[in-house]
Amino acid sequence: MKGGLSPSSLSRKIICPAFAPAPFDPASRLRFQAFHSMAMLRVIKRHLLLGFTLKAIEARNGNGFRNDLSFEDPCGKLRVVEVKSAKQLVEVHAIQAALYWIPNCDIVLSNGNEDRVLSEDYVRTVQNKAQMTRQLLREHPEVAGSTFNPVPEVCRICANEHCPFLPREQDITQRSE
Q: Which amino acid is at 151?
A: V
Phi and psi for 58 in degrees, rounded to 5?
50, 45
Beta bridge partners of 82: 109
Backbone angles phi, psi at 156, to 5 degrees: -65, -20
What pLDDT is stored for residue 172 in this prediction?
43
Q: What's 141-167 look like in SS3? A: HHHHCCCCCCCHHHHCCECCCCCCCCC
What per-residue confidence (pLDDT) applies to 173? 41
The reported pLDDT for the residue numbered 106 is: 95
Candidates 63, 68, 92; CA nearest to 82 is 68
Cβ(40)–Cβ(70) under 8 Å? no
Please provide the DSSP assignment of 44-96 as one string.
Answer: HHHHHHTT-EEEEEEEE-TTSSEEEEEEE-TTS-EEEEEE---SS--HHHHHH
Which stretches in the chain have pLDDT values below 70? 1-3, 168-177
What does the pLDDT read at residue 167? 77
Looking at beta carbons, which pairs linking 64-67 to residues 24 or more positions away fall under 8 Å?
Answer: 64/1, 64/2, 64/3, 65/1, 65/3, 65/6, 65/7, 65/100, 67/100
Which helix (H) or strand (E) segment holds residue 175: the answer is helix 169-176
User: What pLDDT shows up at residue 74?
Assistant: 95
Q: What is the pLDDT of residue 55?
A: 97
Angle value at C-alpha 69, between 133 and 39, nearest 5 degrees: 95
Please state, as a whole number, how many other Cβ atoms lie within 10 Å of the Cβ of residue 68: 22
User: Taking Cα atoms as reference points, which of 134, 96, 130 lies closest to residue 116?
Assistant: 96
The one-character DSSP state at 105 is E
pTM: 0.88
